[in-house]
């Protein structure tokens, strides 16, 4: 896959930021974020994302929101997709 440019004026950016906010809201009780629950929700979302472009947008949005650790998990998914794709082509 070629480079993906994240455009913060693209509707996908706004949608991605909304999804992160909604997940944070669901995982916040009495003003305190349950980080592990939030991380679990974001990983569940990662599993469901089908397009690499959306993963790139999610990674950028997570980093901008201060969740670099979760963004690195998303980056790992992209790496595994490349590795598995390469292995599948050699079979």
pLDDT computed for residue 80 by the predictor = 82
Q: E-strand spans in 1-91?
A: 28-29, 32-33
Q: Tell me whether residue 5 is exposed, middle or buried, using C-beta atoms within 10 angstroms of its C-beta: 0 to 12, 13 to 18, 19 or more.
A: exposed
User: Mean pLDDT, consecutive 10-residue segments, the chain of 91 residues?
Assistant: 84 96 96 96 89 91 95 87 64 41
pLDDT computed for residue 18 by the predictor = 97
pTM for the model: 0.82
């Amino acid at each position: 896959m070629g480079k993906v440019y994240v455009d913060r004026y693209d509707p996908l950016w706004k949608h991605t930021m909304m999804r992160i906010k909604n997940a944070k809201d669901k995982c916040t009780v009495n003003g305190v974020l349950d980080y592990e629950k939030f991380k679990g929700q974001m990983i569940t979302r990662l599993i469901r994302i089908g397009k690499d472009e959306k993963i790139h947008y999610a990674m950028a949005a997570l980093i901008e929101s201060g969740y670099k650790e979760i963004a690195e998990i998303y980056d790992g998914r992209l790496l595994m997709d490349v590795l598995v794709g390469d292995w599948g082509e050699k079979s």
